[in-house]
Structures are given as C-alpha cells and as structure tokens.
C-alpha cells in the first residue's frame, strides 16, 4: 500500500524537473479567496509547488469582499459595464479590503503551510506605476445610453518594476500582491487584477500565468459544463471570440492572455480554483484541469 | 543668502558621517499617521535620512483609526486598562485598518518623496512569531474590580525573525511594518506596536529607537510643558518611575525602553511627531527635540 | 482517481520541508549496484530526493564485482577475516572496477533520470588522504592461527577534505565517490567504503547516513526476518552488540555508526537497497524501512 | 531658528536624489590647491557630496607650484605658447610637486573631513597610457617665429584604464589623481590635467565634469565680471569661440569640453574654486555658480 | 652558479604573463600515459604550468591499454580502418581502462606533484552528449571490400556542456576527462579522444590545444625526423594534406585542428609527449618543440 | 641546453607551491632605490614573484634622497642620534621626495615589467594613523649632552588600517607605500619606514618581512663579510644584541623584527638589495641570501 503511494511520488519527478526554477504567476479571484477552506487548500498546493522548486507569485483583487464591506459602511457602489467607479471612500475601502483583509488571509494561509511569504500591494517597491484613467464616453450596456464616466481612483498601468519581486523570489519568498498601484505623486489607484497579473507575468518572463477563477475554463457551449476546451492556441481563442462562442465576460481575459503569450510567457491557464487540486493538476499531470492557451 | 544656506548644509556633515549605515527604528503612533499633512512632512524627513545613508525601518499601529472604523461598522470595542480586547470582528477590522489603510498611507507618502518602500505586517516573512495572550485576572482601573479577561486575538511576541527586514534594508527599501503577528498555525494576532518596535530594534541591533508620539517627551512636571527632560539614563528613568514623577501612560514605554537599551540599542527617543522637523532634530542637531534615553 | 493521487502528493509536503537543503550520504553496497534494474530504480529515488531539495552524496565500493573480474583475469584473491589483501595486481583491478565500471554505471543511471552527477574517487580533489595500513598480527578466524598480514595497498583514512564535495553539492551535482584514496606521494589505496561513508558524513555534517545493503536492518532474532528493530539509540545498539544479539558482520557497521552519530550526524540508517522504494520510505514516511540509529 | 535650518535641509533632498550614485570628476587648478584654507573648504564640500551618495574623483596638476620649486632649485623653465617644455630635471620636479606635495595636501585635507581618500598619479594602475609628444613646428606667439619644439617629457594620452578608479569608487574612496602618465616602458610623462580630467570623465561615463578654476565661468564681455553666461550648449560655446568672444585661454578648455559632452558626459562646469561653496552651488541649487555646458 | 639559475627564472616572466589565466587543453595519447615515468614527468610540467596561472584541462583515451586488458580477458577486438568496433564487452572494458585505470593513474601522478585534480569521464556533468554512430558502408582498407559496419557502442558528439569544467577550472582544479560520453537515456559510448579534445577546446575558448603524441610533429619528409615543420597555418596544413605530404594517420588530426582554429582557439600543437619538457617548450620558449598550427 | 634550462624551471615548482597566495612585505631602503638599474632589476624580481602567485606589498622611505634635495634647496637638516628632526620645510621636502620622486620611480619600474601597481603613502586610505612624537630628553651620542629635542613633524604609529591594502592585493595590484602618515586632523608626519613595514606585515599576517638593505645580513664579526649568519631565532638574535656582537645600527631593526615574529609573521629577512637576484634567492632556494630570523 505504502509502496504504491511512493510509486506515485516517482511519477511526479518529470514534472518537477520540467518546471524547476520556472516562475508561475497565480491570480486568485475574489470567489476563491473568500472561502477559507478553499484558500487553505490552495495555499497547500502553492507551497508544495514552491517546495519542489517552482517560483510562485500571487496576485489578487477582491471585488466581492469590497462590495460587502462597502455595503456595511453604507457606501453605495456604482458599477458601469462591470467596472467599478472608485470614489474616494471606495478607494479607502479597497485599500482596507485588498491590502488588509484579503492579503493577510492569503499570507497567513501560506504561513500555516510553512511557506515564507510577503504580502504586498502594487504601491510597494514601485511595482505598479499607474496613472488615473481618463474620463470616458461609455455606452452603458444596461441602459444603452452614452454616459460620460469618471472612474475616479481607477488607474491604468504605465509601467511595471519587478526588482522587488525578483529580490523576494530569489530569496525564497512567495510575494502576494494586491491590486493597487500608485503614480509618482503617491496617489493610490484601484487597478484591474487580471491586467496586473498579465503584466507582471510578462515582465517576469513567467513560464505560466494561472487564473484561478470560479469557472472550469473556456466552454465550447457555455451551457454544457462538459464542453470545456482543454487546450487551444491564441489564434484559436481569438477565433472563438470573433465567432462569439465565448461569453463576453471572458473577452477581456482572452484579449489580455493573447497579448501576454505573444510577449513570451509560455502559456496561460484558466482553471477553477474552487475545485480541490486544481493547481496540482496543472503541474503534475499532462491533461490539466482547465483551459490552457499557448502561442502555437 | 544662498551662501548662508549652503553653509548650513556643511554643518550637517558630521551628523551624516556619525549615522552612516546605522539603523533607526521609527515607531509612528496613530495620532501621527492620521493627519495626512503631518505624515507627508514626516515622510520627507524619513526619506532625507535614508538618502544620506541611514537605514530606516518604520513600525506603526493605529488604535485611533481602528476605533473609528469599528464604530462605523457598529462593532463595539471593549478596552480594559487601556488595552483593547480583540474579538474576531475587531481582528478583521484591525487587519483592514493597520495593514490596509494606514500602511498604504505611509507607503504612498514615502513614495511621493521618491523613497523605495515596502509595506509589511508582522505576519510577512515570519517577522513576528506570536502566541495568543492567556486569559488573565486583571484589576480594572476604572471599576477597581478584579476581572477575568480574555483579550481574544491579542498576541504576545515569542520570537522575531529579521531576515526579511535585513534583505529589504540592504537593498535600499524602507520597510513599514503594521502591528500584526501570527503563530505557526497562521492565526493572526493584534500586537502592541511599541513592543514590536522595541523587539525589532533589539534584533536589528539598531542605533536608535525613535517613538514619534503626540507628547514632547518626558516632563519633570506633567503640567508644565517646559519641564521636558532632554536626556536621561535608564537608571534615572526608572527612578522617575519609582518616584511616580512620570505618568502611568509612560510606564510601559519606559519599561520597554529600559530593556531595549540594555540589549544593545544605543538610545531610545520619545519625540512629538506632530511638530515639524521632529525627526531631523534628532539626526542633525546635538540638542534633540524630545527625551533621549541611553544606557549610561 | 487522479485527485487521490494528487492528495498523496500533498502528504509529501511536510517531509520535503523537513529535509530541505539537508545532506544525505548514501552508501551503496556491491550487491545493490550489480543489478542494473535495482540501480535504475534507486537512481530514480535519489534523483527525486535531490529534486525536492535534499543534497545527495553517494559512496560505493564493489568487492563482489572486483572478485569476479579478478577471477576472469586469473588473479587469486586472498581474504583474511573478511578483509581483502590488496596486492599490486588487485589494486589495478580495484581501480578499474570501482572507478571505471561501477562508478560509471551509477553515474549513467542517474543521468538517465536527468540528475546532474559527477563520478569521483577519493583520490580526486584530495577527498581522502590515506596511509598504507601497517603489517599486523591477526588471528585468522578460519584457521585460528596468528598470522602476520601485510594487507598491501589497503589504506586507512588520515584526513578528509570535503571542499570538492561541497563545491559540487552547492552547484546542484550529485557526487558519486568510489572507495579509493591516496597519500601525498600519489600512492593509491583500496579503502573500506563504509568507513569512507561515515567519515564523509561526519565532515559534511550530514543529516543522515544511509547504508543501502542487502539486509532489512538489524534483527532482534537473526533467524526471524520479522524481528527487525526499526529504531534504536546508539546506546541500545551497543548493548545489542555486547549481548551478542547482532551478528558479527554487523559489528564494524554499528561501531562506525556509533562514532558517527556522536560526531553530529543526526541519524544512520541500515536499509535493504534491494527492496523497491527503500530510500523513499526513509524520506517520505515516518515509519521508515530498515533500522534507524540516533544519538538518543 | 533651528527649524528654519532644518527646513533648508529638506530643500536639499531632490538634489541628493538626482545625483545619487552618479560620478562627478572634479579638476582642481593649481591656483585652487595652493591656498590651504580654500583647499580645506573645498575638501569639506567634496566630502559632503560624497557622504550624500555622489562618487567624486579628483584630478589636479600644479603648474604654479612646479614653477616655484623649479626656481628655488635653479632649474630654468621654458614655456612656449603657455605650454611647458619638460626637460629631465623638470620632470623630476613635476613628480615631486604633483604626486608628492600637492597630492598629499589634497589627500590630507580630505582626510581631515573624515573622507576615505587615495592619492594616485596616472602612472598607477596604468590609468594613463601615454606616449611622448612628437617634435613640432610651432609659431611662437611671443616672437611670431616658427620654432621646432621638443616638449621633452610631455605626453599625450593613448588610452585610459579606469579599472583601478572604479574599484576605489565602488569601495567608498575618493581617488585623487595627479597629472602624470607613463608608457609601457615605464617612461613617465607630464600630461595636461584638463585633458586627463576630460578623458577620465568620458571613460567613467561621469554625470558631470567640474573644472574648479580661478575665473567665474565664461564671460560674454571679458572685462565685465557680471556678464557671466550661466548655461550654454556645446554649439553655442563653439559659436562664441568662432566669434572670438571668449579669450584664447578658454579655447582648449571649450574644445575639450565639446568633445566630452558629445561622448556622453551629461554636463561640464567651469566654476571659480576660490569662491566659498562653489561646488555646493552646482549640486544643491538650480542656478549654479559658474558656466554649465550641456549637449543641447 | 645559483645566480645564473635565477637569471633563467627571469626569462620565464614574459611567458608567464602572456599565458596568465588562459586555458590549455592537453590531450594525452595512450602511448604517453602507459609509461609511468613519462607520466610523472608530464604531470610535473602540467602542475608547473597551472601554478604559474595557466588553466589546464586534460583529455585522454587509452586504446593501447584497452587492447591489452581485452586480450587478457579473452575479448577479441575488431578494428576497421584504425577504428575500434565497441561491442558490449569491449565497452565494459573501456569503462574500466579509461575511467578506472588510466584516469586514476593521471590523477594520482598530478596529486603527487601537489596539484588539485578531478578525474572525470564525459558522462559526468553531461559534459559529452553523444549519440550512437549509425551503421555505415565502409571500404575496408585492408581487404579493399565494402563492408557494412556497426561500430556498436561508439558515439558521435552531439553537444558539449562545459559548465562542470568551468566550475572546476575556476576553483583551481585540473579536470582530467576520459573519452566516454552518454546520451540522455544514460547509454554510455566510446568516443574518439582527439575529437573530444577539439570540441572541449572550442567550447572553452581555449588559448591552445596541445596534442601530446609519440611523434615529433608534422614532418615535411616522413622518413626524415629532421624535416619537422615547426609552424604552419591552417591553409598550409590543408595544402600539405592535398599534396599528400602528410601521412594518412595525420589526416583526421589536421582536419579536426583546422575546424578548431577556425572556431577561435588560438593555436593547436602536435608534440612528442615522450620527450622530456615537451610541454614546457611550448610555454616557456618561442621556438616550441613540435608543430604549431595557427589560423593565419 | 634548453632542456637544462627547462629542468631548472621544474626546480622552482615546490617553492611556488609553498608561497602561493602568501603575502611578502618588502621594505626598500633608500640606497636600493636610488640606483635605477638596481631598482629595475628588483622590480623584475618582484613582478616574477607576483606572477607566480605571491602577494607583494612594498614599503619605502628615502632619507638619502631627502637630504640631497634639502641641500639643493638650502634647507639644513638636523639629525640627532641618526634620527632626523623634521621641521615644516623638511616635511614638505619629504612629501615631495618620498611620495613624489621615489614612489613614482618604483611604480614606473614595476610598470615596465608589466606589473599592476599602485603608489600610495600612509596618508591614503588611513593606512597609517599617527600622532606627533612628544618632545624628548635625549642624550646626544655625539656630544654626550642631554638635549631636549622636538622632532617636529615626526610621527609615531597609533594604528594601522589594512583595508585599502587588502583591497588592492586581492585585485592583483602591488601597493607601494611611502613612509608618511597622518592624524585625524590631517596633519602629515614623517614616519620610520622600518617600523611601518613591520606594522603592516603584522596587520596583514604576512608570511615574510623582507628588508632589502645595503648589507649582507647580520655578521658574527662585523669586520668579516664572510661571517654572515644565514638563519637564527629571535632568541639567538637578542642574545647577539646583549652580547654586543651586532652593531648598534642593527639594534632597532632586530628589536622590531623580534616583536614582529612574535606577532605571527613567519620570518623576517635582512638581505642586500644591491646584489642581483637577492629576492629570488629567498623565494626559490633553501639557503637564502641574507639573514633569516624566525620565531623558533
């Protein structure tokens, strides 16, 4: 019995060798981080990956938790076409929820597994140099009206500085970065976590970008959970987009992944972080758990 | 005119040389961090110190801001003899306020001055290894009654690990640490920021521990702001305590400073962070601004 | 199904963390190296250990293979009380068999698993500084007669120089050392491989010395394979010796292990290298496969 | 009062940040080094610059002092069109005056300020690889006659080797280089200090070359000290030359600066080293003290 | 008398300076290694070269010794056109003779001189990545018949990895490499030592490749030992080949040298290792002992 | 013939190995440096030693040359009991002669041999921290009178800082140090070169201190050049002093050597630098050229 278990360990060897000293950028969605048991399980998977020699960097946002605290504080949230308008009060809550609550939850879950971890936001070490998003004319998908929207303290990424991340990765730490950035005047901005994950993956020349979401990957038929596409190229993904096979919620993810893979990251993965062992599937099996997108 | 100004720069030379490559641990009280203008001014002073070669590590708590957010969220705070009982909800708020709101305020204020900064909590890099404070019999100063108090998620420091802090200081970053810690099971605790500052100063073998508070230092006559004692030894400080000259609020600070100075930190300073240039006074003048306590 | 396999991987995490960056000195007996399938299996186990962060150094002799080649070349072997008299022709064969045949078999088995390996003998890098064993009066166990024996080119260890071994371990190589040494005049000697393994383990301050033999460990009743003692202290081992419970063949092994454990190596293990996963048992389970001897 | 002084320190911060880790090559003319009080004052300015993070390299000649010692020793000096003919006796005096007297005066003035300094000549570490200047046909400006001049032990720079200078700068030393060089046969030459300063600035990729002379900079009207040009481009400087606005003594300085700025040094400065704080003006104010020449 | 000897030492200075920190790859033929006195003498020459700052890497085969042991073991050797067919038994003997016997003879001879040495084969550290030579149609020079030859375990070089060699050279060791290699499946191959020496010299960007053989170099008239050509270019060597002046045994050596010199190795030398001081001649005299081939 | 010369090279091997990476401090007396041919010859010997791996540091004074320049400048020298009174004018001449003239002569002689050299004085890098010698009551040996002597700018060594010397030695430079030092106020002092050499040898933990003088060593009978003692212990040397066998001029040398050898320098040598190959004799022969003093 034990012998069979040990034989299983041997099967892990080629995977360990393949990914030795490679960088995986893992993006955790709010749905994944809010369930403490799921987070504990994922922390163990990430620690295991790190212990066998993979460098892990974690990025997270936390829109769901932000909305919940905002409601408790009586701060109304305005969301246009799925994008949050971040007024001054909301920014304060974002700082508290992203960099305080969720970040420490992730860090302490990793610490319980014995991993050396450092919680950061994009403001630290000038990781994310951002600028305020300009006021835009937007067609409100709900109303169909053109609106002039000031997204407030929402920022767009101007540049990424990975010096601090490299320093921490080289010294055995798992950096955990919440989705805030700043400009050179120290103004803090709320920034899209998917975009941060992509940009950091590109600047670190990561092997993989792994998006841990609450969906099983890209479905050929969005009503059929069994129609998951396990592997496709950037070109195929873009064809799915143009043929409107993928849902609109997937559009920005696929666009950002396409750019990323063209910038040298070997592959991007959309997997369901709510399923046990989702991350280990990607590292220790050939089939994988979600959808893997590669350059060719 | 300009020549006179440049002559003043020359006077800074011996101070710069004296403190080159030394470590200053600076503890910011909640009163200091809540005023954004004061914080901006202090950030400039800290950046200047760092630029002339002093290594700066910042520690902060934020009890005042914690109480304010707790009130907004309708979470009643219980404080016994000046010490906060940290129930589960309060801990969540402490994480948000300390590690989210205040920490990012300090980091972004430093970034505006051009300093490379990294916001941390004591959970990161296992900086603070803590354990839950045991249930205690306490005489409630207000009621005079003995009470059995469970301080909840309040932690005491078991050990300090400065590897991460050294790594960051050696690479030109100002680490900013909020007053949280954890045990090996990843349970997070609210920890007294003064104690953290003392312990980190001792483990880093700092040159100075600087407590930036809202008082001008130790007063010989607590009703006479002019009676500030500018310099005293640990023994003299302890005599003031036994002679009840210093107020009870100063007692734990002085006790912790006494231990600290005996462990090799050259001096500890209690200064009024609300006064402009308070920190620069300590570095660039002989007299200093508050009260300096030395071993002998 | 796959999920169960991945759960097993998680169970390996605490073992990986415990032995990270520790050194294991593994001694392979001739019986283990002569079966190419067993060697291939062991090579995979050693590579897996190395990939998860354990530093592995391998020591081997090869008396069985030496006798076989000597016979083919018509060189008669004289063995007194289990110790080989090494005349000039036998030394030449020992060089060929130990450093040529067996060493390259081990190195190429490891290479097939993707491990970076360097085959050495104790002559390289002055690892083993030896001197010729003096002519001795010996009671021949077979004849019961006192004989004056010149063991020829048999050497005793004067000193160990681990600089080369550290250089290779620090750079990710598995050093494989055959049981030869030399004196400063370049005279080569045949040296007992168990002794080399013990000495190298002590000088490298190894975590474990693992003797891969063809027995299952120390038996309480040598006729009962089920009577294996899985764990005992040095004192207990020495009591077994004085009570003549262990066989005389085990005597030198136990004496050498006792010295070793007293010099700082955490534990020594006698396990049966002919059994699949014998090494993994020691690393990834609490029970272990053979007999483990510790200081206390 | 003190508060105002400390506010002035804050004003220095942006300048300190701008020039952090940049290299300034400072050339001291003989007139600047011969007054011990001026030298002491300048040494303090250079030490202050170094303490706030600027790397300082000093170059000096010393024609005035050379003439004075030559006269005392009865060695007649022949100077043609402002250039000294260096016969064998004069070379011996140059070695003594440049590398002995003046160099040690500068080094000891810096040491008094607490700076770590190393006095060198261009012969050390093969900094200056020179060759003997060829015999030239020259129109003597005084006589108007064509003369065939052998400048003797005067050398022209063939190559610069900055390895030693980098080693010293990287280790916190201020190198002070006197204006001698040598060829590969070890023949020593007297070399123009301005040229050395320019070449070293170019090879070190310095931020600034600062020529500390006894004039206030380039004057638009050489009879009007108030007509100083505070900033001009290389092209403007060359136009001034072609329009004969600058005096002939400035010609070689401007030509050499033009080449330099085109080779990547950010700016060159001609300032009056006899005025207190002349160097600090350049570092800590925007206006500057003399004339600054930039590429564009 | 002693003074004359010391004067001779001075004459070595320019040669020491010229070759400081350069790499020499020295290939020892079987004829050179089989005579222990010659080997001892050569070891002293190599140690002297290393001690004055030259990095030495040694390559060797040992066909002569292989044939002798094969004969003793009754394993018939088949050699076609001077190339050995390596069946499984012969490969086992090659491992023993090359990596066991000869390699240790060289290592122990160097150790006697006080040199730090590491014996390797091309299997170690993946130095030689080889593949099995394909079955070939060959015209047997003896019989004149076309034969289909399977050379068995003979390998051709696919790639060279010099990481291990650089690590050892940088740390003061003389690596001694026997002529074996392997593929990624761990299959070991017998590989031509001249080819290995050339490839390693090219990959290490060596200054010199020195072939220590039993001939005096290239002779203009192969029957006249006095007709040695001391220096020629690659083009001249190729002309000698096309004009059939050099013997066919020299053909592959010259072809391989030509390729090598075109890949950046400064020169290749064919010298008679059986003559005392042959190596020192190349280093410490201008004339040299054998034939030196350069690019131009 | 050439073969004999190359055999001589082999004889150098054990000496090269013995002194590899050891430090020799070589003190050159004024008599040795004033003859340019002798200096050139010595420079070649020192370069050869350095090229075979010995670290060389050179110390020199230059009293003879100082007196000669002083005379030419009309500055009277007062010498009491062999020790020079250094008034302000004499100090200026000492700076010029030691650090200018002689230092550059040595540096350029070494450069001609291809050695990387850096000329220094004890003022550089705070190598020599000195203080002014106190006014002393002295019995004038000439007059027999007690005199109160102010030696002026003569300094005694307070401390030695070898950081700069180690930096240069570790980077392959030969430092050449002239006999000046300074106090923390930057006052320069004339310091005894023998004392400097001893102190630097002790602080560098040198293998040998070599005093290159104009005598053949210690003579048993000072009138008999053949009575040289080639080797003696510190105790024997002190007995020779107490028995007044050695001349009074040797007294301070022997006292300083005795202290030195007791502080860990392996041996001190007094040899005649005017004899060709004097230094090589010490390195490459067992007998040596002068007198060698060892601890026991």
| Contact criterion met (CB below 8 Å) for E208 and E199 | no
Between B77 and D138, residue with greater pLDDT? B77
* Confidence grade of residue D248 (pLDDT, cut at 50, 70, 90): low
Instruction: Give kind and range of the element (H or E) at residue E234.
Output: helix E234-242
Question: How many angstroms separate the CA atoms of D193 and E292, rounded?
Answer: 47
Q: Is the pLDDT of residue B252 over 80?
A: no
Could you read off the pLDDT of C257-283 as tens digits, one per residue?
Answer: 888 888 889 999 999 999 999 899 888
Contact: A9, C12; criterion CB under 8 Å: yes
Specify which residues A58 forms β-bridges with: A26, A176
Write the burial class of residue E74 (CB in 10 Å: 0-12 exposed, 13-18 middle, 19+ buried): exposed
Q: What is the mean pLDDT of residues D15-33?
A: 94
CA F8 – CA F12 distance, rounded (Å):
7
- Give the best residue of E1, E4, E8, E9 to mutate against chain F (max F CB count within 10 A): E9
Closest CA to E208 of E14, E58, E23: E23
Distance from the A109 Cα atom to the nearest Cα atom in chain C, whole angstroms: 15
- Do C and B make contact via 3 or more CB pairs under 8 A? The reply is no
Instruction: Please tell me the distance from the alpha carbon of residue D209 to that of residue D204, in angstroms, as a whole number.
Output: 11
Q: What value does the mean pLDDT of chain F take?
A: 92
- The residue ranking higher by pLDDT, E285 or D17, is D17
Query: What is d(CA F98, CA F196) in angstroms, rounded to the nearest whole number?
Result: 14
Angstrom distance (rounded) from CA A272 to CA E269: 65
- Say how far apart CA D11 and CA C25 lie, in whole Å: 62
* Residue in F7, F13, F285 closest to E51 by CB: F13
Chains A and E touch (3+ CB pairs under 8 A): no
pLDDT in tens, C177-232: 999 999 999 999 999 999 999 999 999 999 999 999 888 888 887 788 788 888 98
Tell me the average pLDDT across D267-281.
91
Confidence of residue C240 (pLDDT cuts 50, 70, 90): confident
Can you tell me whether residue B270 is helix, strand or coil?
strand
Q: Would an 8 Å CB–CB cutoff place E120 in contact with chain C? A: yes
Instruction: Using alpha carbons, select from C127, C95, C107, C105 the residue that is nearest to residue C173.
Output: C107
Q: Quick one: which of C58, C160, C121, F10 has its CA closest to E106? A: C121
pLDDT score, position E1: 55
- Contact with chain F for residue E240, Cβ under 8 A: no
Residues paired with F78 in a beta bridge: F85
D188 and F CB contact within 8 Å: yes
Buried b (16+ CB within 10 A) or exposed e, A227-261: ebbeebebeebeebbeeebbeeebeebbebbbebb
pLDDT digit string (tens) for C132-175? 999 989 888 888 889 899 999 999 999 999 999 999 999 999 99
pLDDT value, residue B179:
98
Using alpha carbons, select from A115, A114, A127, A125 the residue that is nearest to residue A59: A127
β-pairing, B231-233 vs B267-272, is unpaired
> Using CB atoms, which residue from B6, B51, B113 is nearest to D280?
B6
Which of chain F's residues have a Cβ under 8 Å away from the Cβ of E14? 114
For chain E, give percent helix, strand, coil, nearest 5: 45, 25, 30
pLDDT, tens only, F158-181 = 999 999 999 999 999 999 999 999
**Euclidean distance between CA atoms B34 and B32, whole angstroms:** 6
pLDDT at A121: 98
- DSSP class per residue in C200-255: HHHHTT-SEEEEEESS-S-BSSTT-GGGB--EEEHHHHHHHHHTT-S-GGGHHHHH
Q: Which of D104, D114, D186 is facing F121, going by the closest CB pair?
A: D104
D:F CB pairs within 8 Å: 116
Predicted interface score ipTM higher than 0.90: yes
**pLDDT on residue D197:** 96
What is the reported pLDDT for C218?
86
Interface contact flag, E9 F8, Cβ < 8 Å: yes
Burial of F276 (0-12, 13-18, 19+ CB in 10 A): middle
What pLDDT, on the 0 to 100 scale, is given for residue C209? Answer: 96
Is the pLDDT at D278 greater than 60? The verdict is yes
E26 at the C interface (CB within 8 A)? no
Given a cut of 70, is residue F249 above it in pLDDT?
A: no
Domain ranges of chain E: 20-214+267-280
Give the count of Cβ contacts less than 8 A between chain A and B: 116
User: What's residue F289's pLDDT?
Assistant: 80
Which one of D16, D48, D277 has the shortest CB-CB distance to B3?
D277
Instruction: Work out the minimum CA distance from A120 to partner chain B, whole angstroms.
Output: 6
- Chain D residue with the nearest C-alpha to that of F108: D186
Encode chain F in three state secondary structure.
Answer: CHHHHHHHHHHHHHHHHHHCCCEEEEEECHHHHHCHHHHHHHHHHHHHHHHCCCEEEEEECCHHHHHHHHHHCCCCCEEECCEEEECHHHHHHHHHHHHHHHHHHHHHHHHHCCCCEEEEECCHHHCEEEEECCCEEEECCCCCCEEEECCECEEEEEEECCHHHHHHHHCCCEEEEECEEECCCCCEEECCHHHHHHHHHHHCCCCEEEEEECCCCCECCCCCHHHECCEEEHHHHHHHHHCCCCCHHHHHHHHHHHHHHHCCCCEEEEEECCCCCHHHHHHHCCCCCCEEEECC
Q: What is the pLDDT of residues A171-215, one digit of tens each?
A: 999 999 999 999 999 999 999 999 999 999 999 999 999 999 888
Question: Phi and psi of B23, rounded to 5°?
Answer: -105, 130
Domain C20-214+267-280 sits in CATH 3.40.1160.10 = yes
Say whether pLDDT at B112 is over 60: yes
Contacts of D105 (CB under 8 A, 6+ apart): D33, D36, D39
Q: D277–B113: do the CB atoms touch at under 8 Å?
A: no
DSSP A50-61: HHTT-EEEEEE-
**If DSSP codes are grouped into helix, strand and coil, which group holds residue A237?**
helix
Parts of chain A with a pLDDT under 70: 1, 247-249
CB contact under 8 A, D6 and B284: yes
Give the DSSP H/E element, type plus range, for residue C190: strand C188-190
Query: What average pLDDT is seen over chain D?
Result: 92
What is the distance in angstroms between the Cα of E277 and the nearest Cα belonging to chain F?
7
- pLDDT attached to residue A1: 55
H-state helical runs in B52-206:
63-73, 88-94, 103-112, 163-170, 193-203
Coil vs helix vs strand at D175: strand
Q: Which two tokens stand for residue F90?
A: 């004499």
Give E135→chain C minimum CA distance, Å: 24
DSSP state, residue A86: B
Closest CA to D219 of D232, D202, D204: D232
Q: How many Å apart are CA C98 and CA B94, to the nearest integer?
A: 66
Q: What is the pLDDT of residue D249?
A: 67
Q: Do B17 and D114 touch (CB under 8 A)?
A: yes
Any residues with CB less than 8 A from the CB of F285 and at least 6 apart, and which?
Answer: E2, E6, F15
Report pLDDT digits (tens) over F82-105: 889 999 999 999 999 999 999 999
Q: What is the pLDDT of residue C255?
A: 80
- Contact assignment for B51 to D10 by CB distance below 8 Å: no
Name the residue of chain B whose CA is nearest to D8's CA.
B5
As a whole number, the mean pLDDT across chain B is 92
Q: What is the pLDDT of residue A256?
A: 81
Of A3, A6, A17, the CB nearest to C51: A17
**C6 touches A at CB < 8 Å:** yes
> Model confidence at D140, in pLDDT bands (50, 70, 90)?
confident
C-beta separation of A157 from A196 below 8 A: yes
pLDDT at A249: 67
Distance CA F5, CA D242 (A): 66
C touches A, CB cut-off 8 Å, minimum 3 pairs? yes
**Looking at per-residue confidence, does B140 or F51 come out higher?**
F51
CB B26 within 8 A of CB B54: no
Lowest mean pLDDT among D128-137, D234-243, F206-215: D234-243
Residues 70-89 of E with CB under 8 A from C: 72-73
- Whether E44 sits inside 8 A of F281 (CB atoms) is no
Tokens of F204: 């560098």
**Chain D interface includes F104 (CB < 8 A):** yes
Instruction: Find where tokens 């001054």 sit.
Output: A88
Interval B230-257 mean pLDDT: 81
**Which residues on chain B are in Cβ contact (under 8 Å) with D3?**
276-277
- Considering only CB atoms, E6 lies closest to which of F20, F47, F284, namely F284
Whether C218 and C232 have beta carbons less than 8 Å apart is answered as: yes
Do residues E215 and E272 make contact, with C-beta atoms less than 8 angstroms apart? yes
Q: How far is CA F95 from the centre of its chain?
A: 18
The nearest CA of chain F is from the CA of D182 a distance in Å of 7
Q: Mean pLDDT over all residues of chain C?
A: 92
- The token pair that represents A95 in the structure block: 């700082």
State which H helix or E strand residue C271 sits in.
strand C267-272
Q: Considering only alpha carbons, which residue of chain C is nearest residue A18? A: C114
Mean of pLDDT values over F223-233: 86
pLDDT in tens, B29-50: 988 999 999 999 999 999 999 9
Contact E13 F44 (CB under 8 A): yes
The H or E element containing residue A48 is: helix A36-51
Q: B51–D3: do the CB atoms touch at under 8 Å?
A: no
> Does residue B1 carry a pLDDT above 70?
no
Q: Of the candidates A283, B1, B41, A210, which has an alpha carbon nearest to the alpha carbon of residue C5? A: A283
pLDDT of residue C225: 77
Distance from CA of E173 to the nearest CA of F (A): 14
Q: What is the largest CA-CA distance in chain B?
A: 66
Beta bridge partners of E294: E233, E267
- Which positions of chain E have pLDDT values less than 50? none
DSSP letter assigned to residue D225 = G
Percent of all residues in chain F with a pLDDT value above 90, rounded to a whole number: 67
pLDDT score for C4? 78
| pLDDT of C249 strictly over 70 | no
């Amino acid at each position: 019995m034990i012998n069979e278990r040990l034989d299983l360990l041997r099967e892990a060897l080629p995977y360990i060798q393949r990914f030795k000293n490679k960088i995986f950028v893992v993006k955790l969605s709010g749905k994944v981080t809010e369930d403490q048991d799921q987070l504990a399980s994922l922390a163990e998977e990430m620690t295991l990956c790190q212990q066998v020699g993979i460098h892990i960097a974690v990025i997270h946002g936390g829109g769901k938790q932000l909305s919940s605290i905002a409601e408790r504080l009586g701060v109304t949230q305005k969301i246009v076409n799925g994008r949050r308008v971040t007024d001054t009060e909301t920014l304060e809550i974002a700082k508290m929820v992203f960099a305080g609550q969720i970040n420490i939850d992730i860090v302490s879950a990793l610490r319980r597994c014995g991993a050396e971890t450092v919680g950061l936001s994009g403001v630290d070490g000038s990781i994310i140099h951002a600028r305020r998003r300009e006021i835009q004319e937007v067609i409100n998908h709900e109303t169909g009206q053109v609106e002039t929207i000031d997204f407030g303290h929402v920022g767009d990424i101007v540049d990424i500085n990975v010096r601090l991340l490299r320093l921490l990765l080289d010294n055995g730490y798992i950096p955990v970065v919440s989705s805030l950035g700043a400009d050179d005047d120290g103004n803090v901005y709320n920034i899209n976590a998917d975009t941060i994950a992509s940009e950091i993956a590109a600047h670190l020349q990561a092997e993989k970008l792994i998006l841990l979401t609450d969906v099983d990957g890209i479905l050929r038929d969005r009503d059929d959970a069994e129609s998951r596409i396990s592997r496709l190229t950037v070109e195929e993904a873009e064809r799915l987009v143009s043929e409107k096979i993928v849902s609109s919620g997937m559009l920005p993810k696929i666009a950002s992944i396409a750019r990323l893979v063209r910038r040298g990251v070997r592959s991007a993965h959309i997997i369901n972080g709510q399923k046990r062992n989702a991350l280990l599937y990607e590292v220790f099996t050939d089939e994988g758990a979600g959808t893997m997108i590669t350059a060719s």
